[in-house]
């Protein structure tokens, strides 16, 4: 396999292997191709062995795809190369080197909800009320300090106000509680390796020797701990290649520092710089519109993106009355695209600034029978019943995990309330023993005999499977545990209709462990729990489904779609009001807008509303986003949307001579009967099989010619009879 498919700049970047390399990769310029071909080149030319290469990125999905591509290039099904996210690489390292830090190799990884649960306990112990410091605010403050690598002691010297001093006190107690629970949060996964390197130089030397060449994807999204992790590992060999785009740095709110990529040459003076400017994703119209906005940022690397796919269509701009009409306008434009360009539902993505904006979109899509996936809703592994079952598994692995104990000690119901748990906690403090060990002597506590028996039974159950964890496979152990705990029985025998879905979710979880064990026969329950804890929303997204994708702009990073709708482009919503006070905040919002536009391959629609219901329920008069005003008028095509409810004419300074009128009509109610042949704008011809309700509540069940079955509300379905 040669490098002939690469363009001149891509090939030069791939073949540059001596010393630090910085690759500015504009949107859609083939950065993944460059990274995978570079790994392929390093191995094929025998410059480095696969096991001497470390490649880090930000999502499991990206890491998996990257490894598959490299294996395909090398024509092998086995590749001992380390490719993973920062968190997964660090977690693996910490489990191996745990003894040097005084932690257990079986440490738990606490997600956001676990952190909140622990902080609630900490705040209660410190007698800090929610009014003085809310758990969520405490978590955000602690995470911010960790991302800046500020310890409780260091922050204590800076604290001036009562709130700042309280945060320091909570931060210190929270870290102590994590230790007692033998747990690390996501930020700790990045910080502990740095402590390891500082205190144990031989460990650092070991990994410097192991990973002789380092590649980094999405380098613009690195924070301070990640920057230090990479510089420490590469300081001896100086063989590091980073790829990124400063115009797509959108995670400043969680600690990412765009200066890491912009100042790379300062830290690595001998580095060579390559700029990938040929875009293989979008049209020139899309690129020019996106660039015309982001060039208003002062601090950025200059790039001149050239589209390989030609000029393309103008950017569609639609004004609507409110968020409901905005959803209707999206559906109308979607219908037109399907009719004229023979697109499928998976061709479309609707992007928005905040998750709360999805509700009117979802409502409209459901009414019209349009299938959709929503990224960023409750993840499978975040559903209560799934987290409850996972807590059983976590406790079996780590008996010190008090958050898991509190979560499941009364699941299924055992008659054990929080007052009983408080007594257990108090006894643990008195006896200076672990909370779990208190449970086996529950009869000594001042509680009823039934509760005492329940606690002892719970202890015996967990201890039994803790002792079996290395004797049974992960799938055998988990199925037996959940069966014996009575979880399946609880949901199976319940009369609550929602419990059927909960039962199926638990079964699906157990099936996922089966699949995990099949793929990795030597894996343990700890390995499965680590993988689950490090998954992100996008890792669950299935792009093979024929559905419209709804997601925030942040979630869309790294993805592409033929047609993209960017909704909610009201000033104060995108960009958000709370970032307008700082230059840095506004510049990051611009970069976010740039990311939104450059997800599109062929067509972009921008939408804003003149009225919008915000938090609290009040209606707010809206103005178009200032970012729309930063796009030259020659790149925009005003699309007038006339809804059946408002029937109005849209004007404005952005109006062009050429107008495209998109209209909706509402079918007269009660003029359908079972057996009627009807035409739907998206699904085509079909036959009404079921009819119910009258007037505005009339519903029909239709089987379309391709076999698709849909239940539709006549009011919104735009059905017409076929004579």
Tokens encoding 181: 């629970």
Contacts of 554 (CB under 8 A, 6+ apart): 250, 251, 592
Identify which of 628, 589, 626, 587 has the alpha carbon closest to the alpha carbon of residue 299: 587
CA dihedral 471, 475, 478, 479 (to 10 degrees): -120
DSSP code string of 399-418: TT-HHHHHHHTTSS--S--H
Contacts of 206 (CB under 8 A, 6+ apart): none
| Cα–Cα–Cα angle for 60, 64, 66, rounded to 5 degrees | 115
Active site residue 217: yes
Q: What distances in angstroms separate CA 438 from CA 60, 177, 409, 418, 449, one per listed residue? A: 39, 18, 13, 15, 15
Q: Which of 11, 15, 17, 32 is catalytic?
A: 32
Active site residue 248: yes
Helices (H), 520-597: 525-533, 583-597
Q: Position of tokens 């650092």?
A: 204
Active site residue 602: no
Q: Which of 36, 248, 283, 552 is catalytic?
A: 248
Q: Which of 599, 603, 612, 664 is catalytic?
A: 599
Please give the Cα distance from 712 to 705 (Å, whole number). 16
Active site residue 263: no
Tokens encoding 239: 């063989």
Task: Work out the end-to-end distance of the chain between its first and last CA atoms, rounded to an integer number of angstroms.
Answer: 60
Q: Which of 218, 288, 326, 571 is catalytic?
A: 218
Active site residue 31: yes
Q: Which of 10, 31, 257, 402 is catalytic?
A: 31
SS3 state at 322: coil
Active site residue 117: no
- Reply yes or no: is the peptide bond before residue 518 cis, omega within 30 of 0: no
Phi, psi for 199 (deg, rounded to 5): -85, -20
Catalytic residues: 31-32, 217-218, 248, 599
């Amino acid at each position: 396999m040669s490098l002939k498919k690469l363009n001149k700049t891509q090939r030069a970047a791939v073949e540059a292997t001596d010393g630090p390399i910085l690759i500015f990769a504009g949107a859609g310029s083939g950065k993944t191709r460059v990274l995978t071909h570079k790994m392929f080149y390093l191995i094929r030319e025998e410059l480095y062995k696969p096991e001497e290469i470390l490649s880090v990125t930000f999502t499991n999905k990206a890491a998996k795809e990257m490894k598959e591509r490299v294996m395909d290039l090398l024509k092998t099904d086995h590749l001992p190369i380390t490719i993973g996210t920062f968190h997964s690489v660090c977690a693996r390292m910490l489990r191996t080197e745990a003894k040097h830090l005084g932690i257990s190799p079986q440490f738990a990884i606490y997600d956001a909800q676990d952190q909140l649960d622990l902080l609630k306990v900490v705040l209660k112990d410190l007698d800090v009320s929610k009014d003085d410091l809310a758990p969520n605010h405490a978590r955000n403050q602690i995470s911010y300090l960790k991302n800046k690598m500020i310890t409780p002691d260091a922050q204590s010297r800076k604290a001036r106000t009562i709130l700042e001093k309280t945060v320091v006190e909570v931060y210190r107690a929270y870290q102590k509680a994590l230790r007692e629970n033998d747990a690390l949060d996501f930020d700790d996964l990045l910080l502990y390796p740095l402590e390891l390197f500082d205190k144990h130089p031989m460990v650092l030397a070991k990994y410097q020797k192991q990973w002789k060449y380092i590649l980094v994807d999405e380098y613009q999204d690195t924070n301070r701990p990640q920057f230090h992790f990479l510089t420490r590992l590469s300081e001896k060999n100086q063989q590091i290649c980073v790829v990124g785009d400063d115009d797509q740095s959108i995670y400043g709110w969680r600690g990412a520092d765009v200066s890491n990529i912009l100042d790379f040459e300062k830290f690595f003076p001998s580095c060579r710089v390559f700029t990938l400017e040929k875009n293989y994703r979008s049209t020139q119209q899309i690129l020019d519109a996106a660039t015309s906005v982001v060039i208003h940022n002062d601090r950025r690397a200059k790039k001149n993106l050239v589209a390989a796919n030609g000029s393309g269509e103008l950017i569609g701009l639609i004004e609507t009355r409110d968020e409901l009409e905005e959803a209707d306008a999206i559906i109308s434009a979607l219908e037109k695209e399907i009719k004229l360009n023979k697109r499928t539902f998976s061709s479309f993505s609707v992007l928005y600034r905040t998750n709360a904006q999805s509700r009117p979109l979802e409502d409209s899509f459901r009414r019209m029978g349009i299938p959709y996936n929503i990224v960023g809703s409750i993840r499978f592994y975040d559903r209560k019943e799934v987290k409850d079952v996972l807590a059983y598994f976590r406790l079996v692995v780590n008996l010190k995990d008090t958050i898991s104990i509190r979560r499941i000690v009364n699941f299924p119901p055992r008659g054990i309330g929080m007052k009983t748990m408080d007594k257990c906690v108090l006894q643990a403090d008195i006896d200076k023993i672990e909370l779990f060990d208190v449970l086996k002597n529950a009869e000594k506590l001042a509680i009823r005999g039934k509760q005492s028996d329940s606690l002892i039974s719970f202890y015996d159950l967990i201890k039994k499977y803790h002792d079996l964890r290395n004797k049974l496979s992960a799938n055998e152990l988990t199925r037996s545990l959940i069966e014996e705990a009575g979880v399946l029985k609880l949901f199976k025998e319940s009369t609550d209709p929602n419990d059927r879905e909960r039962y199926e979710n638990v079964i699906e979880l157990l099936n996922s462990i089966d699949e995990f064990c099949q793929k990795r026969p030597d894996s343990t329950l700890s390995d499965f729990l680590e993988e689950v804890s490090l998954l992100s929303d996008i890792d669950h997204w299935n792009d093979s489904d024929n559905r419209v994708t709804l997601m925030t702009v942040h979630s869309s990073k790294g993805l592409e779609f033929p047609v993209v709708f960017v909704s909610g482009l009201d000033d104060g919503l995108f960009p958000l009001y709370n970032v307008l006070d700082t230059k840095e905040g506004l510049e990051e919002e611009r970069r976010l807008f740039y990311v939104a536009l450059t997800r599109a391959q062929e067509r972009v629609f921008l939408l804003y509303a003149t009225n919008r219901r915000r938090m609290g329920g009040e209606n707010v008069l809206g103005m178009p986003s200032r970012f729309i005003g930063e796009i030259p008028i020659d790149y925009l095509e005003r699309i007038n949307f006339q809804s059946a409810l408002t029937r109005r004419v849209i004007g404005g300074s952005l109006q062009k001579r050429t107008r495209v009128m998109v209209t909706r009509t509402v079918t007269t109610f009660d003029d359908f009967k079972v057996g009627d042949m009807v035409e739907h704008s998206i699904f085509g011809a079909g036959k009404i099989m079921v009819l119910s309700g009258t007037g505005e509540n009339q519903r029909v069940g239709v089987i379309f010619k391709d076999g698709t079955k849909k239940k539709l509300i006549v009011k919104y379905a735009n059905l017409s009879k076929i004579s």
